[in-house]
Amino acid sequence: MDNVFPKNFLWGGATAANQIEGAWNVDGRGPATSDYARLITSETKKLEGTFDQHVPHNAASLEMIEDMDVHPENWTLPKRWGIDFYHTYKEDIKLLAGMGFKVFRMSISWSRIFPNGDDKEPNEKGLEFYDNVFDELHKYGIEPMVTISHFDIPMHLARKYHGFLSRYTVDAFVRYAETLFKHYKGKVKYWLTFNEINNILSNPYTSAGVIMSGAQHPNDCNPYLGHWQEKFQAVHNQFVASALAVKKLHAIDPNAKIGNMLCRLENYAESTKPEDNLQLLFEDHFNWFFTDVQAKGEYPYYMERFFKHNHIHIQMEPKDKQILREGTVDFITISYYMTYVMRYKGKSVAEPTGRLVSDIKNPNIPRSEWGWPIDPIGLRITLNKIYDRYHLPIFISENGLGAMDTVTENGKIYDDYRINYLHEHVYQLREAIKDGVDVFGYAWWGPIDLVSSGTSQMSKRYGMIYIDQDDYGHGTKKRLLKKSYYYYKKLIASNGADLEDNIDY
Ligand code: P53
């Protein structure tokens, strides 16, 4: 068997605090935006009408937030309980270690460390929890990769300062990051600043703690359009916050590395028409933009026309440009789930759609039960493009399939669809490495079932480890090993050489 994966390739999985920890008000943790993300099912969608089927939109409006505080019994808020990882991390890490994991991507809940986001002193109990998690991972030789901000902003910063719309939040973030770098120096080698930083275009609440007037209310208006002034200002502030964190880490712990995190939207033109290809270029720009700033250290030329055309004025402080130049990331990470189809919109100036799932169907590839196109070759294409553009090492910080699972009478889960997805994506990853792309790791999203980010559903399962828990938090919470558990274990043991599905389960 020919093998091309580097010897120390980091195989593993990825999670986020707000989707696994639960214990939302335990040991001094303060409330976060994710605690106000309601369950979305096909039923809620029908009731609320108007919205696109496949796009996550569980952000909260101010009215909803207030009602959730006064009448929590009227809402289903699954991120408050997650999978109770806060209490089960030992047994869960043991199961993950059983697959031979080399890396575990996780995030730190900001409001567990600083309950309001801007407190004078950190919460010792919070710091201690992650010390325990890191120690537990190291016990099994698993390297943590830690996202500093993954879709949970302290509610206090969201309500009082509009999250990252304000420079106040930038300062608070940098102090939070500095606290982490100092406290966990030597324990964490890989850091990421903001999860899917481009998610701001479709969901400023989730990404940046910006509660937008009206725009986020499910019955109000379409959140994908407009509000660009606020979105691009908030993301500028995140760029600065990210660059300052990069500089801090390099000063505090020169042995550690820090990366970006982009939800990579690989686009295809719907036809060979030049206009559709122009649209593809436009959409591509709105995706590259984020990593261009974080990896090259400056705003790319192509944004100027868009800003001017739309009267967007980004407020910069005198040193911002220098900070961005000095705070470029050490490596690139992407989440890769699917590809998109572009059709000309008849405009000569680009406009971001801000969608996370394409509304135009690609007839050449299948879709998941949640309508997400499945396109393994797109991964090879995208990895080549990224490497060509940045010449930096790449880590795949998310890839995976959300699906319904069925448990048989004797407690088995035959998830061949998940095995296929993994198989095909790792096959194309291997091709990309053969092409010469420098990839140093691969993290499956949600190796243990967790609460969905977009819909807060538990039934949208990604895991190789099943949890007996439903959308409403009911169930025995028992962990069961799916067929894919044994497949991934074998794949990792062979360092990606053995992709054959011959599991005796
Ligand atoms: P869920 C949309 C499209 C692509 C990636 O998503 C996305 C989203 C947001 O819903 O987010 C990432 O759980 C995100 C994770 C998330 C995962 O993809 O909606 O970084 O937090 O869970 C999968 O199925």
Domains within the chain, CATH numbers bracketed: 10-493 (3.20.20.80)
Q: What is the pLDDT of residue 5?
A: 97
Question: Measuring from atom 16 of ligand 1, which residue has the nearest CA?
Answer: 453
Sign of the Cα torsion 267, 268, 270, 274 reads positive
The residue-averaged pLDDT of 84-100 equals 98
pLDDT surpasses 80 at 68: yes
Confidence band of 415 (pLDDT split at 50, 70, 90): very high
Closest Cα to atom 17, ligand 1: which residue? 453
pLDDT for position 224: 44
Task: For ligand 1, atom 4, name the residue with the nearest CA.
Answer: 356
473: left (phi over 0), alpha (psi -120 to 50) or beta: left
Report whether pLDDT(318) > 60. Answer: yes
Burial status of residue 478 (CB atoms within 10 A of its CB: 0-12, 13-18, 19 or more): exposed
The percent of residues in the chain predicted with pLDDT above 70, rounded, is 92
Among protein residues, the one with the nearest Cα to ligand 1's atom 14 is 453
Which token pair is 17? 């605090």
Q: How confident is the model at residue 42 (pLDDT cuts 50, 70, 90)?
A: confident
* Interatomic CA distance for residues 100 and 13, integer angstroms: 11
Mean pLDDT over 286-293 rounds to 97
CA–chain centroid gap for 246, Å, is 19
- Given pLDDT bands bounded at 50, 70 and 90, which one contains residue 223? very low
Tell me the sheet residues that pair with 146. 106, 191
Mutation test of ligand 1: which of 15, 196, 200, 421 has the most ligand atoms closer than 8 Å to its C-beta?
A: 196
Instruction: Choose the weakest-confidence range: 150-154, 215-219, 335-339.
Output: 215-219
Residue with tokens 């030597």: 186
- Spatial distance between the Cα atoms of 406 and 409, rounded to a whole number of angstroms: 10
CA 193–ligand 1 middle distance (angstroms): 17
Q: Contact 418/482 with Cβ under 8 angstroms?
A: yes
Q: For a substitution probing ligand 1, which of 445, 455, 460 has the most ligand atoms within 8 Å of its CB?
A: 445
Phi, psi of 144 (to 5 degrees): -75, 140
DSSP conformation class of 166: S
150 Cα–ligand 1 center, Å: 11
pLDDT of residue 58: 64
Residue closest via CA to ligand 1's atom 11 equals: 453
Calculate mean pLDDT across residues 32-52.
Answer: 73
Active site residues: 196, 398
Cα-to-centroid distance, 317 and ligand 1 (Å): 32
Where residue 387 falls among pLDDT bands split at 50, 70, 90? very high
Average pLDDT of the chain is 93
- Which pairing describes strands 339-342 and 439-445: parallel, antiparallel, or unpaired? unpaired
What average pLDDT does the segment 133-162 reach?
97
The residue among 300 and 57 whose pLDDT is bigger is 300
Q: Measured from the CA of 337, which atom of ligand 1 is nearest?
A: 4
Using the mean position of ligand 1's atoms as its centre, give its distance from the Cα of residue 454 in Å: 6
Q: Which parts of 298-365 fold into alpha helices (H)?
A: 303-309, 320-326
Place of tokens 């998940």: 418
Q: Which amino acid is at 189?
A: K
CA 146 – CA 428 distance, rounded (Å) = 26
Going from the Cα of 455 to the center of ligand 1, the distance in angstroms, rounded, reads 9
- Tokens, residue 321: 């440009």
Q: Distances in Å between the alpha carbon of 14 and those of 102, 176, 336, 383?
A: 12, 22, 12, 19
Measuring from each residue's beta carbon to the nearest atom of ligand 1, which residues come in under 6 Å? 16, 19, 56, 151, 195-196, 263, 335, 337, 356, 398, 402, 445, 452-455, 460
224 CB-near residues (< 8 Å, 6+ apart): 55, 201, 202, 353, 354, 355
Cβ density class 120-144: b for 16+ within 10 Å, e for less: eebbeebbebbeebbebbeeeebbb
Cβ proximity of 157 and 208 under 8 Å: no
Tell me the residue type at 129: F
